[in-house]
Structure 1
Amino acid sequence: MVSVTGLLVVALVLAPIAPSLAGAVPVPATGADRSAATRPSTAPSGLPASAPARPVASDRNTTEYLALDRSLETSRFGVATLDVGGSVSADGARTRSAYQTSWLREAFAAAGDNDTERRAVVLDGADRIDARIATLERRSDTALTRYNAGEITTQAYLRELAAISQAADSLRGAVSLLATYNSAAGQPVATERIATQKSRLLLLDGPVRDKLAAAMRGERDPIRVHVETTDEGVVLATIDRRGFTRRYVREASVPSARRPDGTDQFEATNDRIGAARDRFRELYPWTWSNRESTSIVAYQGEPFLYTASVYSVRVGHAHGTSRTYDLIAFLDGATRDVFREIQYKDLSRVPTIAADSNQSDGVRVSVNRTRSGGPMLVAATDEASGDPLIATVLIDGEPVGRTGTNGHRWVVAPRPTANVTVVRGDASASVTVFSDGAPTG
């Protein structure tokens, strides 16, 4: 496996430059509403201007995020739990992709030292992988179209995403093996083609989808997932309660921001890696200013994604988890926009704002929020003493779990309002809050 000659792959680990913030507590509003407008696509010196940027939206005093750039088709919740049908579907899809790896390994071994046959196996393997990826892409597109049209439920859509994700994850092994054999056979397949295969898989799997599959197999507790879609984009967000840390996990895809046949504008500069870094810094100013670790373009190793005009930027930041990198963005070289993003946040570090509270029957409910689709903290306390209460939490009438011994329950905020109820025995209290409004911090 070889990298592009003359390019330096940057993988920097920077010293912390910002202290960790305090836990989530009520924060006074600062006035103006959060701006969800896109940032201007101002090209650095020597870099051609691109089309208007896809909306990497500001979430003041915390990380920016990739938003869907067209009118929403859906904004709903689904729950993934033990699901025999979903598990069988996911396992079947994974098996069909795993077959590509097995076939490639056996066929290459059978070719022995015959260079002609080895090259033929690699070429055939590349064709097979392309065909398999295309099948998964069509399945993904069909599922989204049917979901937006109301032909399948949210649970059925999540089942499809889980199956496709498992297949894509398995197929990534075949792509890696293809790269190894391609190098051994004298590179009959262009490295750009293999890098493109890797980039196509980025839109087909992700951490939330992996959690869906695990829940359907019964390997973890059920999870509640917030799903937002447009005609071609998808955002999935959930609260991960495993272990001692409560984490907000979000993945977003905007396929139209990816133009694989376009001219790579970063490559047109004397420093394509630096140009991609500067574009990320422009789109994610808070994230960049509060970075604690950074890696540019080294994601998943050779052949590097920039060979296919895809630039990965991974950043660890002050609101992140124990992961080295808590925000991963993938920029397209032709559009200079982010088409895929993954985020992890430690909820004890996320700044919130006091939305509203109410009391009834001796129970008080308080809500701290961030934004629609972001984390929202529900607190249940005794009205008289202020002591935390273990209570059932309902969002828009749907039970979403119970508060812990600290009286808290983190949820993903629906759009645009949320009716929040806490129930303890025969007593309950409710409040309706806007999940968007004044910025956090």
Structure 2
Amino acid sequence: MKVLPLVLAFVLVASPVLGAVGPQAGSPPADALGDTAAQVQTSSNGTIRVLDIPASSVVRSTVDLQHVDLGPSLDFAGLRAGTQIQTLSSIERIRSASDDGVRQQLILGEINQIEQRAIALQSAQRNAIEAYNSGGISARELLVELARIDAEARELNERRIELREISAQTPDFSVDPGRLAALERELDTFTGPVREQAVSVLTGAETPTRFFVRTSEDGLVLSVITDDTYIREAYRSDLRNRDESGVTPTEALDKVAENYPYVWDSRATQNGADVVGAGNSYLVRVNHDRGQLFAYVDSGSAKVFKEAQIRPLDTISNGTMATEVKDGLNLSVNRTYPGGPLRIQLTETETGDPVDANVTIGLEASRESSLLGRTGADGTIWTVSPGSRFTITVIKGNAAVVLTVSPTPVPHLLTNTTKTNETTTTPASDVTPSGTATPQFDG
């Protein structure tokens, strides 16, 4: 199987578990999970649902090939060096304080500074999305800015950890664990596995890769295909309510169980689910039989406002298949939702043997197309699906086959919003020419 190469390196630093509940798959629902978790133990038809932007709210959507860029690469290196030096300097100043009272003041001052930087990062992320939506910056420039914000947030979290440890070593002093945990959750808002991959590509650590970017006025969806893994992240600031609070760890688990029934039903029997956090949000982590889910539940709105999903390609179902046969070639495309994992396969019509050939993709409304790569020895290549109708073209010698299809509806979260989720019916003309669509969930 041929995929666009990229190494997955997603490291999530977890705070001390303030409230952890790990019900086991297949066992009766624990009382602590309430009635909701029990109610979702029904067939979910294999659907892995995702946090997404409503179709009516989408401002821009694109899939672009990103590659090494010397400018951002130097910026990232300078940012890391600068923040690391600042952290070392801050810790040294605290350790060399003249007395415990001064040390306590310095620790609190540093925590205040991280909290202020978190506010600044929130503004920077919002400004970057607004600039992209207005056409002021390109998708590439948006990814660069999001990657820069990601890098700074990770370094700030490292400083937070250092401050937590040094405060524990200070006599007669402690920092509220809830405050530190809430700060970590806030910094999590600006990090994600796709952004981390963008850093690797932009700095030349990984080869050029296609990234899906989709935005609304207050939302963002990113996805990418790695060596053998599909990764996706989404953020919706409109689903947050910072003026209210009250969700408990158990309620956060309930919310994830409601919204991701298949993921919840198929969670691992050991350490299948846990929840960490405090303050205005909780992180629920679920290991299931087709990957990993990281869902963030807002304490005020009681809704999932951010998620990250990591799924090996060999666990992804075939999806809704469209086919076209011409010149002895059989081109099959397992359709998926915008930004979802798109599988393309090429075989010989008579024998069914895989065919190695170049594959290009382009939006139907545009005359431009880009090279995805070769299907390889197994005749298969993966990429992320565009957000609108697109055309796949394969040329092998004097033979050529072309297939135009539309993405499938997004499998929105079940109970995340009060409105009925937007769905669309795929018209017959969504597959051309003469391709057929087999109803089968792509998840």
Do both share a fold (TM > 0.5)?
yes
Q: Is 1:278 aligned to 2:254, yes or no?
A: yes
Moved more, 133-142 or 396-405: 133-142
Aligned in 2, Cα 1:8/1:379: closer, same or farther, shift over 3 Å? closer
| d(CA) in 1 for partners of 2:261, 2:325 | 40
How is 1:14-413 mapped onto 2 (pairs within 5 angstroms)? 14=24, 60-69=45-54, 71-111=57-97, 114-185=99-170, 186-187=172-173, 189-241=175-227, 246-264=228-246, 266=247, 272-292=248-268, 293-298=271-276, 305-306=277-278, 308-320=279-291, 326-396=292-362, 397-413=369-385
| d(CA) in 2 for partners of 1:202, 1:257 | 16
1:202-221 CA-to-partner distances (Å, cap 9, x unmatched) read 12111111111111121111
AA matched with 1:139: A
1:214-233 CA-to-partner distances (Å, cap 9, x unmatched) read 11121111111100111121
**8 Å contact kept, 1:294–1:313:** no
| d(CA) in 1 for partners of 2:330, 2:80 | 47
**8 Å contact kept, 1:82–1:217:** yes
Give the secondary structure class of the aligned counterpart of 1:387: coil
Q: Is 1:425 aligned to 2:397, yes or no?
A: yes
TM superposition shift of 1:261? 3.4
Question: What runs of 5+ residues in structure 1 fail to find an aligned partner?
Answer: 18-42, 47-57, 267-271, 299-304, 321-325
TM superposition shift of 1:426? 4.1
Normalised to the residue count of structure 1, the TM-score between the two structures is 0.79
Aligned in 2, Cα 1:103/1:16: closer, same or farther, shift over 3 Å? farther
| d(CA) in 2 for partners of 1:175, 1:11 | 27
1:9 to 20, 35, 45: 20
Cα RMSD for the two superposed structures = 2.6
TM superposition shift of 1:59? 8.5
1:379-423 CA-to-partner distances (Å, cap 9, x unmatched) read 112233321111111111221222121000111111232211122
Moved more, 388-397 or 60-69: 60-69
AA matched with 1:440: F
AA matched with 1:367: V
Moved more, 156-165 or 177-186: 177-186
TM superposition shift of 1:373? 1.9
| d(CA) in 2 for partners of 1:152, 1:423 | 34
Correspondence for 1:22: none
How many residue pairs get aligned? The number is 378
| d(CA) in 1 for partners of 2:137, 2:51 | 26
Aligned in 2, Cα 1:3/1:150: closer, same or farther, shift over 3 Å? closer
Give the secondary structure class of the aligned counterpart of 2:400: strand
Percent identity of paired positions between Structure 1 and Structure 2: 30
Correspondence for 1:323: none
**8 Å contact kept, 2:328–2:349:** yes
Give the secondary structure class of the aligned counterpart of 1:379: strand
| d(CA) in 2 for partners of 1:8, 1:249 | 27
| d(CA) in 2 for partners of 1:162, 1:142 | 14
**8 Å contact kept, 2:253–2:275:** no
Question: What runs of 5+ residues in structure 2 fail to find an aligned partner?
Answer: 1-14, 28-32, 37-42, 363-368, 409-425, 427-438
TM superposition shift of 1:318? 2.0
Give the secondary structure class of the aligned counterpart of 1:65: coil
1:327-355 CA-to-partner distances (Å, cap 9, x unmatched) read 11111121111111110112222112343
1:218-252 CA-to-partner distances (Å, cap 9, x unmatched) read 111111110011112111111111xxxx2110011
Normalised to the residue count of structure 2, the TM-score between the two structures is 0.79
| d(CA) in 2 for partners of 1:367, 1:124 | 56
TM superposition shift of 1:83? 1.1
